């Protein structure tokens, strides 16, 4: 249910569970395995998108409807674990939202580092309409991204918003014509892949780790990661290339 393709140093994961790419246990486990496979391969950037007219239209309601509390807790744990793995993957992850990104789809997008939205994209956490709440991170990541009050409005109402509103509130980095979505995501991925891989990796680690710290502790964490890079080939290569006005030859080490 996940198509894997590669273009240069970019790996593209396309969720392909027709007709609406809903998240079920099988798909989550497959995604978990794919993430393990690409975690330490030679790719430098990951793009996640959906096949057809949906990115991910939510979790599989038919699978959830007869769960007891223990089964529901286990299902939420699987989704949270997989999305945490995306958030902490040692390389940038770009979500290219091609259509419906509802419930688990919005939660998946928020676990990525950067969100590009097609003008056809739709976002929302409509779980309260089913008398449940977001269970794959929505109540935690959405307030951190758009602010507490906006997140509460979206989650309490279950309202679905368009790509323009998602961009306005800071949920999406860019709003793009539908036909330009993947080209824009690939262009950014190519730009990132030309930078020092270890530096990009530690920049992600510093940002993610520092958000859960006080500013003082976060600055110490940043200084630690900054100094770690001065023991790498790429730091020497990058600075020498800059001083001598030549193209650097980064090795990711």
Which residue spans within 34-73 are E strands per DSSP?
Answer: 45-50, 54-56
User: Does the active-site annotation cover 179?
Assistant: no
Please state, in angstroms and rounded to a whole number, the distance separating the CA atoms of residues 126 and 151.
Answer: 12
Contact partners, residue 83, CB within 8 Å, separation at least 6: 107, 108, 110, 111, 136, 137
Provide the 8-state DSSP code for 128. Answer: G
The sheet that has 93-97: what strands, in order across it? Answer: 2-7, 10-15, 45-50, 93-97, 114-118, 174-176
User: Quick check: 46 and 113 in contact, CB under 8 A?
Assistant: no
107, 119, 179, 222: which one is catalytic? 107
Provide the 8-state DSSP code for 206. Answer: H
Find the helix or strand (DSSP H, E) in which 114 lies. strand 114-118
User: Does the active-site annotation cover 222?
Assistant: no
What length does the chain have?
253
30, 119, 127, 253: which one is catalytic? 127
So which residues are the catalytic ones? 107, 127
């Amino acid at each position: 249910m996940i198509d894997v393709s590669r273009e240069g140093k970019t790996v593209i994961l396309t969720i392909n569970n027709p007709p609406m790419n809903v998240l079920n246990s099988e798909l989550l486990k497959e995604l978990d395995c794919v993430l393990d496979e690409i975690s330490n391969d030679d790719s430098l950037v990951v793009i996640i998108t959906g096949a057809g007219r949906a990115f991910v239209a939510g979790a599989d309601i038919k699978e959830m409807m007869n769960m007891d509390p223990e089964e529901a807790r286990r299902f939420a744990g699987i989704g949270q674990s997989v999305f945490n793995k995306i958030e902490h993957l040692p390389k940038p992850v770009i979500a290219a939202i091609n259509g419906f990104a509802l419930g688990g789809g919005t939660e998946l997008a928020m676990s990525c580092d950067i969100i590009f939205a097609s003008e056809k994209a739709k976002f929302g956490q409509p779980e309260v309409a089913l008398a449940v709440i977001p269970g794959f991170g929505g109540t935690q990541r959405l307030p951190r991204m758009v602010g507490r009050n906006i997140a509460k409005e979206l989650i309490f109402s279950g309202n679905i918003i368009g790509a323009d509103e998602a961009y306005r509130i800071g949920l999406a980095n860019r709003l793009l014509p539908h036909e330009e979505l993947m080209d824009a995501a690939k262009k950014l991925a190519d730009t990132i892949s030309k930078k020092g891989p270890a530096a990009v990796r530690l920049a992600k680690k510093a940002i993610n780790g520092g958000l859960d710290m006080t500013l003082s502790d976060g600055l110490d964490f940043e200084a630690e990661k900054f100094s770690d890079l001065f023991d790498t080939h790429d730091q020497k290569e990058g600075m020498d290339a800059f001083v001598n006005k030549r193209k650097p030859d980064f090795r990711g080490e």
